[in-house]
A = this chain, B = another copy of it.
Protein backbone atom coordinates (compact mmCIF):
# COMPACT_ATOMS: atom_id res chain seq x y z
CA UNK A 1 0.00 0.00 0.00
CA UNK A 2 1.29 3.41 -0.99
CA UNK A 3 0.61 6.43 1.21
CA UNK A 4 2.02 9.89 0.57
CA UNK A 5 2.90 12.63 3.03
CA UNK A 6 2.44 15.98 1.36
CA UNK A 7 2.96 19.50 2.67
CA UNK A 8 5.37 22.37 2.66
CA UNK A 9 9.06 22.06 3.37
CA UNK A 10 9.72 22.17 7.14
CA UNK A 11 6.12 21.18 7.94
CA UNK A 12 7.34 18.08 9.78
CA UNK A 13 6.80 15.33 7.19
CA UNK A 14 10.25 13.76 7.62
CA UNK A 15 10.01 13.79 11.39
CA UNK A 16 6.59 12.09 11.39
CA UNK A 17 7.63 9.46 8.83
CA UNK A 18 10.83 8.72 10.77
CA UNK A 19 8.81 8.17 13.96
CA UNK A 20 6.11 5.95 12.46
CA UNK A 21 8.53 3.61 10.68
CA UNK A 22 9.57 1.75 13.88
CA UNK A 23 5.93 1.56 15.05
CA UNK A 24 4.80 -0.03 11.78
CA UNK A 25 7.83 -2.32 11.72
CA UNK A 26 7.01 -3.51 15.24
CA UNK A 27 3.77 -4.88 13.74
CA UNK A 28 5.87 -7.09 11.47
CA UNK A 29 5.42 -4.94 8.38
CA UNK A 30 8.07 -4.42 5.73
CA UNK A 31 8.37 -0.67 5.19
CA UNK A 32 9.96 1.38 2.42
CA UNK A 33 10.22 5.13 1.97
CA UNK A 34 10.29 6.95 -1.35
CA UNK A 35 11.43 10.54 -1.22
CA UNK A 36 10.74 12.77 -4.19
CA UNK A 37 13.49 15.16 -5.22
CA UNK A 38 12.39 17.71 -7.78
CA UNK A 39 15.91 18.09 -9.12
CA UNK A 40 19.13 16.11 -9.20
CA UNK A 41 20.54 15.25 -5.78
CA UNK A 42 23.84 14.25 -4.22
CA UNK A 43 23.98 10.87 -2.57
CA UNK A 44 27.49 9.49 -2.83
CA UNK A 45 30.66 11.10 -1.55
CA UNK A 46 32.88 12.78 -4.16
CA UNK A 47 36.13 10.87 -4.56
CA UNK A 48 34.75 7.48 -3.57
CA UNK A 49 35.13 4.67 -6.11
CA UNK A 50 31.36 4.38 -6.64
CA UNK A 51 31.17 8.14 -7.23
CA UNK A 52 33.98 7.89 -9.81
CA UNK A 53 32.18 5.10 -11.69
CA UNK A 54 28.96 7.14 -11.82
CA UNK A 55 30.81 10.28 -12.94
CA UNK A 56 32.45 8.24 -15.70
CA UNK A 57 29.01 7.54 -17.14
CA UNK A 58 28.07 4.15 -15.70
CA UNK A 59 25.16 3.40 -13.43
CA UNK A 60 26.37 1.89 -10.20
CA UNK A 61 25.45 -0.75 -7.66
CA UNK A 62 27.37 -1.41 -4.45
CA UNK A 63 26.68 -4.86 -3.08
CA UNK A 64 27.49 -6.10 0.41
CA UNK A 65 26.16 -9.10 2.37
CA UNK A 66 23.78 -6.82 4.33
CA UNK A 67 23.05 -3.78 2.16
CA UNK A 68 22.92 -2.71 -1.45
CA UNK A 69 22.93 0.74 -3.00
CA UNK A 70 21.87 1.41 -6.57
CA UNK A 71 22.47 4.78 -8.26
CA UNK A 72 20.94 4.98 -11.69
CA UNK A 73 20.16 7.53 -14.39
CA UNK A 74 16.46 7.64 -15.26
CA UNK A 75 14.29 9.56 -17.69
CA UNK A 76 11.20 9.69 -15.47
CA UNK A 77 10.33 10.01 -11.80
CA UNK A 78 6.88 8.43 -12.15
CA UNK A 79 5.83 7.24 -8.70
CA UNK A 80 4.21 4.00 -9.82
CA UNK A 81 7.24 3.20 -11.96
CA UNK A 82 9.71 3.56 -9.06
CA UNK A 83 7.39 1.64 -6.73
CA UNK A 84 8.34 -1.52 -8.64
CA UNK A 85 11.56 -1.56 -6.58
CA UNK A 86 9.40 -2.27 -3.53
CA UNK A 87 6.90 -4.73 -4.97
CA UNK A 88 7.31 -7.11 -2.01
CA UNK A 89 6.88 -4.46 0.72
CA UNK A 90 3.76 -4.00 2.87
CA UNK A 91 3.69 -0.21 3.08
CA UNK A 92 5.49 2.38 0.97
CA UNK A 93 5.57 5.75 2.75
CA UNK A 94 6.13 8.51 0.22
CA UNK A 95 7.36 12.02 0.87
CA UNK A 96 6.12 14.27 -1.90
CA UNK A 97 4.31 13.37 -5.15
CA UNK A 98 1.42 15.63 -4.18
CA UNK A 99 -0.21 15.50 -7.60
CA UNK A 100 0.02 11.81 -8.45
CA UNK A 101 -0.65 10.18 -5.12
CA UNK A 102 -4.01 8.50 -4.65
CA UNK A 103 -3.86 8.22 -0.85
CA UNK A 104 -2.34 11.16 0.96
CA UNK A 105 -1.83 12.71 4.37
CA UNK A 106 -1.44 16.47 4.44
CA UNK A 107 1.03 17.77 7.04
CA UNK A 108 0.90 21.47 7.87
CA UNK A 109 2.29 23.79 10.52
CA UNK A 110 -0.89 25.84 10.65
CA UNK A 111 -4.39 26.08 9.30
CA UNK A 112 -3.38 28.60 6.62
CA UNK A 113 -1.05 26.02 5.09
CA UNK A 114 -3.91 23.51 5.06
CA UNK A 115 -6.10 26.04 3.24
CA UNK A 116 -3.33 27.00 0.81
CA UNK A 117 -2.41 23.43 -0.13
CA UNK A 118 -6.02 22.32 -0.06
CA UNK A 119 -7.56 18.94 0.46
CA UNK A 120 -8.98 16.79 -2.32
CA UNK A 121 -10.76 13.42 -2.62
CA UNK A 122 -7.41 11.62 -2.24
CA UNK A 123 -6.66 13.24 1.13
CA UNK A 124 -7.27 10.70 3.90
CA UNK A 125 -5.91 12.69 6.85
CA UNK A 126 -4.70 16.13 7.88
CA UNK A 127 -1.93 16.57 10.45
CA UNK A 128 -1.80 20.08 11.92
CA UNK A 129 -1.22 21.46 15.42
CA UNK A 130 -3.60 24.39 15.10
CA UNK A 131 -7.28 24.11 15.77
CA UNK A 132 -9.17 23.47 12.56
CA UNK A 133 -11.60 26.34 13.25
CA UNK A 134 -14.05 26.76 10.40
CA UNK A 135 -12.38 24.00 8.38
CA UNK A 136 -14.84 21.27 9.19
CA UNK A 137 -13.90 17.79 8.04
CA UNK A 138 -16.39 16.14 10.38
CA UNK A 139 -18.79 15.22 7.60
CA UNK A 140 -15.99 13.70 5.55
CA UNK A 141 -13.85 10.59 5.97
CA UNK A 142 -10.78 12.74 6.61
CA UNK A 143 -9.01 12.05 9.91
CA UNK A 144 -7.37 14.81 11.92
CA UNK A 145 -4.22 14.50 14.02
CA UNK A 146 -1.79 16.74 15.85
CA UNK A 147 1.84 16.44 14.74
CA UNK A 148 2.81 14.84 18.05
CA UNK A 149 0.25 12.05 17.66
CA UNK A 150 2.60 9.72 15.83
CA UNK A 151 1.23 6.58 17.52
CA UNK A 152 -2.29 7.50 16.36
CA UNK A 153 -1.08 8.30 12.84
CA UNK A 154 0.72 4.95 12.69
CA UNK A 155 -2.42 3.15 13.93
CA UNK A 156 -4.49 4.94 11.28
CA UNK A 157 -2.07 3.88 8.53
CA UNK A 158 -2.13 0.34 9.91
CA UNK A 159 -5.95 0.34 9.76
CA UNK A 160 -5.81 1.54 6.13
CA UNK A 161 -3.29 -1.20 5.38
CA UNK A 162 -5.51 -3.91 6.90
CA UNK A 163 -8.50 -2.67 4.88
CA UNK A 164 -6.32 -2.50 1.72
CA UNK A 165 -5.04 -6.02 2.33
CA UNK A 166 -8.56 -7.28 3.01
CA UNK A 167 -9.73 -5.87 -0.30
CA UNK A 168 -6.89 -7.62 -2.11
CA UNK A 169 -7.30 -11.02 -0.49
Q: How many chain A residues touch B (Cβ–Cβ < 8 Å)?
A: 55
Q: Lowest 3 A-B CB distances belong to which pairs? A: A21-B56, A37-B64, A33-B53
CA distance A31 to B51 in the complex (A): 15
Residues of chain B contacted by A70 (CB below 8 angstroms):
68-70, 72, 85
Cβ contact within 8 Å between A61 and B86: yes
Cβ contact within 8 Å between B62 and A17: no
Contacts A22-B56, A58-B32: A64 and B41 contacting too (C-beta < 8 A)? yes
Contacts A43-B44, A68-B74, A73-B66: A95 and B49 contacting too (C-beta < 8 A)? yes
CA distance A17 to B64 in the complex (A): 19
CB distance from A19 to the nearest CB of B (A): 8
Cβ contact within 8 Å between B49 and A66: no
Q: Interface on A for B, CB 8 Å cutoff?
A: 14, 17-19, 21-22, 25, 31-45, 49-50, 52-53, 56-77, 79, 82, 85-86, 89, 93, 95
Cβ contact within 8 Å between B64 and A40: yes
Cβ contact within 8 Å between B85 and A62: no
Residues of chain B contacted by A22 (CB below 8 angstroms):
56-57
Cβ contact within 8 Å between A71 and B69: yes
Cβ contact within 8 Å between A72 and B64: no
CA distance A151 to B71 in the complex (A): 26
Q: Which of B14, B19, B77 contacts A64 (CB 8 A)?
A: B77
Q: Which of B21, B37, B60 contacts A33 (CB 8 A)?
A: B60
CA distance A53 to B64 in the complex (A): 20
